[in-house]
Amino acid sequence: MRDLTINIHHVTRVEGHGNIKVNIKNGVIEELNLEIVESPRFFEAMLRGRRWDEAAHITSRICGICAVGHTTTSLRATEAAFGLEPSEQTVLLRKLIFNGEMMQSHILHFYFLVAPDFFGMGSVIPLASSHPAVVQRALRLKKLANDVCAVVGGRHIHPISMVVNGFTRIPKPSELREMRQHLVDAWPDLQATVDLFSTLSIPDFERQTEYVSLTNTKEYAFYDGVIASGDGGTIPVSGYKDKIKESVVPHSTAKHASATRESYMVGALSRVNNNYEQLLPKAKEAARALGLKVPCYNPFMISIAQLVETIHCLEDSINIIDSLLSKGLKEEDTRVQIRAGTGVGACEVPRGTLYHEYTFDEQGLITAANLIIPTAQNVANIERDFRSIVPTLLDRPKEEIALTLEMLVRAYDPCISCSVHLLNVEFV
């Protein structure tokens, strides 16, 4: 029987700081932890006393990667509290910038953070000389996604023009037409990406868990929907606290989320599992080419699900632009009536369901805030995966076990800087 200790300090190619700790004595697991050691930033407390129209710009700074996601969710929470229904144009523009961020985050993840593992490299940098065409394609696609965000919001990281009840600047039709052309021109790059990823050998590992995501009868849910579980049933977003139990785990600095089972998964794979039928045609075609069949229980397939979603988002972006152009774009009055109350917003951001909840007083100042971030929902599930995969690897060299665990953590695309509250996780 084997003794094994692995100590990976600050897992690389993830957003934020996390450690993996494995301690096995005589073949028995004594310790198998994903510790999140990011410094707490205390956004929920920092929001107290700030104005209603600052919440989105403050919470955007939780995470540079999902800045649009935090901004959108924040705006929706404020709008829910004030009882506002933004215009159709606002919703379409938000969905467009949301698609831009989804593509940018997913491309960054599967090309820059995940792909080097499959080429046996420590980063994308050596790939630039060994596989220049791959890296140039990755950069072109990432730039396209960034540009979608910039056209709508001014910039991707901390978008400027997205405000409660609308936009401070509406894109010009000429900008949208130009963007549409760039999107159409990107199909060959995406096809080449599908070809590349269908050749990678994804580790063969399955563990069934509870898959949670928003769902929506009208479309593949990102911006709007009700909370759905792969175990059955839906509940409205405003009832999120009935579904998700958040707790602070002793000897861990993590707020730890659970639903029906001990742990659950959010993110691209949960969404594809729950909402496969609503993917647009090209995305379904890619899923078939990539061997992604639902329900899929292999967490290493998250990256593949992200690629399928990227294709969906590109197709959807073209449709949205067509719809905006045919309806005609106009300046809108974004003024709002402030009122005291509480509102919840939830969106499917790249890594899963994000919740913001604010309570405002009569002046529109925030008196309480609660934020639940996708990675915080996934950590318990990652740790359950560890427990299930490690016993199958015990006869392998230590380096291989360590790499597999790192790849598993990376597959979830954890955004540790985002786990706001934040979160030192230690599961004992």
Partner 1 sequence: MKPKIGIFDFSGCEGCQLTVLSLEDELLDLLGAVEIVNFREAMTERSDDYAIAFVEGTITREGEVERLKGIRERAKILVALGSCAAIGGINCLKNFHNLEEVRHIVYGDKADYFETFAARPLKAVVPVDYAIYGCPIPKQEFLEVAKALLLAKKPNIPNYAVCVECKLAENICVFDKGMTCLGPVTRAGCRAICPTYGNKCEGCRGLVDQPNINSHKEVLRERGLTVEEVLAQFRMFGGCLEGIK
**Residue 40: which region, alpha, beta or left (left: phi > 0; alpha: psi -120 to 50)?**
beta
- Among ligand SF4, partner 1, none, what binds residue 109 when CB lies within 5 to 8 Å by partner kind? none
Q: Please check whether residue 276 is in contact with residue 288, taking contact to mean a CB–CB distance below 8 angstroms.
A: no
Binding of ligand SF4 at residue 154 (CB under 6 A)? no
Structure tokens belonging to residue 218: 């009208």
Instruction: Count the residues of the shown chain that bind partner 1, applying the rule CB under 8 A.
Output: 66
Exposure letters 342-364 (e unless 16+ CB within 10 A, then b): ebbbbbbbbbbbbbbbbbbeeeb
Rounded distance between C-alpha atoms, residue 362 and residue 187, angstroms: 50
Judged by CB, which is closer to partner 1: 50, or 261?
Answer: 50
Minimum separation from the CB atom of position 158 to ligand SF4 (A): 6
Binding of partner 1 at residue 54 (CB under 8 A)? yes
Binding of partner 1 at residue 177 (CB under 8 A)? no
Rounded distance between C-alpha atoms, residue 334 and residue 310, angstroms: 31
Minimum separation from the CB atom of position 404 to ligand SF4 (A): 31
Minimum separation from the CB atom of position 60 to ligand SF4 (A): 8
Minimum separation from the CB atom of position 169 to ligand SF4 (A): 13
Judged by CB, which is closer to partner 1: 39, or 208?
Answer: 39
**Rg, Å, the chain Cα set:** 21
Closest CA to 116 of 406, 420, 336: 406
Minimum separation from the CB atom of position 241 to partner 1 (A): 15
> Phi first, then psi: what are they for 47, rounded to 5°?
-75, -25
Q: How far apart are the first and last CA of the chain?
A: 22
Judged by CB, which is closer to partner 1: 214, or 408?
Answer: 408
Task: Report residue 333 CA to chain centroid gap.
Answer: 31
Judged by CB, which is closer to partner 1: 15, or 315?
Answer: 15
- Among ligand SF4, partner 1, none, what binds residue 424 when CB lies within 5 to 8 Å by partner kind? partner 1
Among 157, 192, 289, 393, binds partner 1 (CB under 8 A): 157
Q: What is the DSSP string of 386-416?
A: HHHHHHHHTTS-HHHHHHHHHHHHHHT--BG
Binding of partner 1 at residue 128 (CB under 8 A)? yes
Closest CA to 2 of 363, 395, 293, 383: 395
Helix (H) or strand (E) holding 181: helix 173-185
Of residues 90 through 109, those in contact with partner 1 by CB under 8 A are 108
Judged by CB, which is closer to ligand SF4: 41, or 261?
Answer: 41
Rounded distance between C-alpha atoms, residue 398 and residue 188, angstroms: 40
Q: Please check whether residue 402 is in contact with residue 6, taking contact to mean a CB–CB distance below 8 angstroms.
A: yes
DSSP state of 250: T
Minimum separation from the CB atom of position 64 to ligand SF4 (A): 5
Minimum separation from the CB atom of position 157 to ligand SF4 (A): 6
Rounded distance between C-alpha atoms, residue 15 and residue 81, angstroms: 31
Judged by CB, which is closer to ligand SF4: 70, or 410?
Answer: 70
Q: Is 17 helix (H, G, I), strand (E, B) or coil?
A: coil
Rounded distance between C-alpha atoms, residue 55 and residue 74, angstroms: 7
| Contact pattern from residue 194 through residue 233 relative to ligand SF4, giving x for each residue in contact according to CB under 6 A and a dash for the rest | ----------------------------------------
- Among partner 1, ligand SF4, none, what binds residue 46 when CB lies within 5 to 8 Å by partner kind? partner 1
Which range, of 86-94, 151-159, 375-383, 392-400, touches partner 1 by CB under 8 A? Answer: 151-159
Judged by CB, which is closer to partner 1: 153, or 267?
Answer: 153
Binding of ligand SF4 at residue 61 (CB under 6 A)? yes
Binding of ligand SF4 at residue 64 (CB under 6 A)? yes
Q: Please check whether residue 280 is in contact with residue 312, taking contact to mean a CB–CB distance below 8 angstroms.
A: yes
Rounded distance between C-alpha atoms, residue 329 and residue 321, angstroms: 11
Judged by CB, which is closer to partner 1: 198, or 334?
Answer: 334
Structure tokens belonging to residue 210: 């509870």
Minimum separation from the CB atom of position 61 to ligand SF4 (A): 4
- Among partner 1, ligand SF4, none, what binds residue 58 when CB lies within 5 to 8 Å by partner kind? partner 1
Closest CA to 412 of 126, 22, 34, 72: 34
Structure tokens belonging to residue 23: 């301690």
Judged by CB, which is closer to ligand SF4: 64, or 341?
Answer: 64
Amino acid (one-letter) located at 44: E
Residues lying near ligand SF4 in the complex (CB under 6 A): 61, 64, 157
Residues lying near partner 1 in the complex (CB under 8 A): 10, 12-17, 38-42, 44-46, 48-51, 54, 57-58, 61-65, 67, 108, 112-113, 116, 122-125, 128, 135-136, 139-140, 142-143, 146, 153-158, 160-161, 163, 167-169, 248, 250-253, 255, 417-418, 421, 424
